[in-house]
Each structure stands twice: as C-alpha cells, then as structure tokens.
Amino acid sequence: MRVLGVDPGLTRCGVGVVDGAPGRPLTMAAVGVLRTPADAETPLRLVAIERGLEEWLDAHRPEAVAVERVFSQHNVRTVMGTAQASAVAMLCAARRGLPVALHTPSEVKAAVTGSGRADKAQVGAMVTRLLRLDAPPRPADAADALALAICHIWRAPAHDRIRRAHAAARREPPTPRPKGTIPS
C-alpha cells in the first residue's frame, strides 16, 4: 500500500510518500515540503499548494492520502491557514477518488513512538529508524508527513473495519417502535 502523508500548512506543507503494509518493512518513496511566501495573498497561496499537491499525486500515484486533523485550540491565525491547506489536500485527493483519512497529531505520535505526547525530535528519530534513513528528514514538517503516512499504513485495517461496520449499520432499517407503547 502506498500512502501520501500531508502535514498541512500555508508556509510549509510537508509531503511524504511511504510504501508498506502492517507487519512488513516500510519504505520511503519520496519526501519534501511545499512552501508559499508568507507575504502572498491567501487565495494565491492555496492555488500554489493545490498545484504542488497535484504534482505529487501525479508523480507518486498513492492509493490513499493521510492528512493531519486540525484542531482550533491553538493560535488562531496559524489554525486558519492549516485548516485551509488541509481543505486543499482533502479536495485534491477526493477529486481523484482516493480515500482520505484524517489522523490527529497524538494518534500519529502514538503510532510511531508509542506515546501520544512525544516531541518533534522523538518523532523524527522514529521515522528515521522505521524508514531506515541516514538522518531525520528536515524540516520537521517533512518528518511529520512521513509519520502520518506510516500511521495510516498501520491503522488502515482497523479504520476500514470501523468504516464497513458504520456503513452496514446505516444500511439496516431503523427499528420500528412497538405498537401500543407510549413514547417516554
């Protein structure tokens, strides 16, 4: 399974492609960062990110895309940019019919280090080890994108089971209310 991980951001958007399957060795296919100038207008930055992601999707043909799930408890300005960049990533993938999964930062940290509260250095060190690299990928956004892809490869089977269960539950007819009872 080939997965593109995307660590969304307007200034630096990390991208990493990993091949692997649960319980099998992982291989890095590519890693990089899409950058847009901080003084450019947001709409133009989003267009640049879309173009960059399209190139990555064309070049590496992943079977799934994993994007970091954005929370808004942090810095307001940063969060907005991150949410906007993640929207572009989801859009590019879904437009091609690729499955998109969102993983929270703690899910990703827990997947690669065993702890949901691991720091950047620990994530970088584990990504280096798991992908048998010579040095941690720089900047941290690139390492985070690879960690997202790894997290997705390892979590995907569980993810699919939950999804199928939900879909099956939706297909079942709603339980009819027994006749003659009074709604409480």
Q: Which of 28/100 has CB closer to a second copy?
A: 100
Is 141 a residue of the active site?
Answer: yes
Q: Minimum distance between the CB of residue 98 and a second copy, rounded to whole angstroms?
A: 9
Count Cβ atoms below 10 Å from residue 22 Cβ, excluding itself.
11
Q: What is the per-residue binding string for a second copy in 75-94, x denoting contact by CB under 8 A?
A: -x--xx--xxxxxx-xx-xx
What's the Cα-to-Cα distance from 98 to each of 62, 63, 65, 95, 181, rounded to whole Å? 8, 6, 7, 7, 47
Residues 24-43 contacting a second copy, CB under 8 A: 41-43
Identify whether 134 is a catalytic site residue. Answer: no
- Other Cβ atoms less than 10 A from the Cβ of 67: the count is 24
- 160 has binding-site annotation: no
Give the residue, chosen from 1, 29, 47, 125, that forms a contact with a second copy under the rule CB under 8 A: 47
User: Does residue 119 carry a catalytic annotation?
Assistant: no
- Residue 100 or 130 with smaller CB distance to a second copy: 100
Number of C-beta neighbours around residue 139 at 10 A: 15
Rounded-to-integer distance, Cα 62 and Cα 40, Å:
30
Query: Considering 41, 68, 160, 172, which one is annotated as catalytic?
Result: 68
- Give dist(CA 78, CA 84) in Å, integer: 10
Asked whether the beta carbons of 93 and 57 are under 8 A apart, the reply is: yes
- Closest approach, Cβ 169 to a second copy, in A, equals 12
Calculate the alpha carbon distances from 85 to 34, 92, 133, 154 in Å. 11, 11, 28, 25
**What amino acid positions are annotated as catalytic residues?**
7, 68, 141
Residues that bind a second copy (CB under 8 A): 41-44, 46-47, 50, 70-73, 76, 79-80, 83-88, 90-91, 93-95, 100, 102
- Please give the annotated binding residues, written as ranges: 7, 68, 141
- Please give the annotated binding residues for Mg(2+), written as ranges: 7, 68, 141
